[in-house]
Structure 1
Amino acid sequence: MTDERIREIDCGIIEGTTEEERVARWGADWREQDLGMEEFRMVARRGLTFLEEQIAAHADKRILVVSHGAFIGLSLQHLFPEQFKKTHIDNTSLTILTNRNNGWSCALYNCTKHL
């Protein structure tokens, strides 16, 4: 199954550009400009909505979700604001979340031992 809600963050007009190209086009303060990038809180909100829907549809089952690093990191920051103020997700890493009694826990974060 595929679902648009777990797609990577929409980077607006900076999509596909390098840091060097961004600075040349929009200046060193390009991060402070409105360049059409999806708001981080909206990325996290769609992530949580997706997870909650999957939990309801597949109660007491294990669910595998495959997505992109920024999406996963922002969703984790939303679920665990004290634990994950900043996140870095390595390519092909594994993170295991558990939801019990409407509460979330993170048993494994950004594991790459399988590589």
Structure 2
Amino acid sequence: MTEAARMGWIRHGITEWNRLGKIQGVTDIPLSKEGEEQARRLAVRLIADGDRWDGIYCSDLKRAHRTAEIISERLGIPLVTDSRLRERSFGQAEGTTLEQRVSEWGENWRANVPDQESDDEVRARGHDFVDDFLLRHQGQSWLIVTHGSFLARMLQSLCEDLTDSHLQNVSLTVLERPANSMHSNWTPLLHNCTLHLAEPSTKR
């Protein structure tokens, strides 16, 4: 009997722009030192949990790739980069704070920024990735390191009843899909979990 497919979705660690409240989108901001420490803490947690992870996919943007690289090295699993996992393009809004966005486009700025990638476009490339994943990795468990807005759209699309909560940096969400399932929905086993951030520092 074929085993279920499992995906462990991870939002990248924190960056300086995250700390300043600036929206990043496809602007290629590196992971901060704090973000690197967050990734190490998640890797320690994953090892302690004892679950099998066959590999890790990540966005091609630096902040996600570095997060995945740290986890990959600690777990000793292969790392694959896929541009379909990159963050939504926010167009003119990239590099702005919330105050600046509200001033320019109003309280409903998310709907009013003229040159950003749409929800439908984000979901289309996300589902293209997931469809490929199921063809290649049915019965396997892989970690997926990506970005907040992209991940929020994907989780809502894959799990109809999942709470639409703000996804924390380096949070872990685990989804499972039974083999030969007749429907496309995934079952959430864990959502937006950051318990590993409460653990002691990994620095010696």
For this structure pair, what is the TM-score category when the shorter chain's length is used for normalisation? 0.7 to 0.9
- Which residue does 1:94 correspond to in 2? 172
Residues 19-78 of structure 1: CA deviation (Å, up to 9, x unaligned):
222233344554442421111122122212211211211221111111112111110111
**8 A contact 2:92–2:113 mirrored in 1:** no
Identity of aligned residues (%): 39
Q: Structure 2: which 5+ residue stretches go unaligned? A: 1-79, 198-204
Residue 92 of structure 2 aligns to which amino acid in structure 1?
A: I
Which residues of 2 match residues 70-89 of structure 1 at below 5 A? 70-81=149-160, 83-84=161-162, 86-89=164-167
SS of 1:56's equivalent in the other structure is: helix
CA contact (8 A) 1:14 1:35 kept: no
State how 1:43-82 maps to structure 2 within 5 Å. Answer: 43-81=122-160
Map of 2:99 onto structure 1: 20
Deviating beyond 6 angstroms after TM superposition, the runs of 4 or more aligned structure 1 residues are none
Q: What is the TM-score normalised by the length of structure 1?
A: 0.85
Report the residue type matching 2:83 in the other structure: E
CA RMSD of aligned residues (A): 1.8
* 5+ residue gaps, structure 1: none
- What is the aligned length? 114
Question: Which shows bigger deviation, 14-23 or 24-33?
Answer: 24-33
TM norm structure 2: 0.51
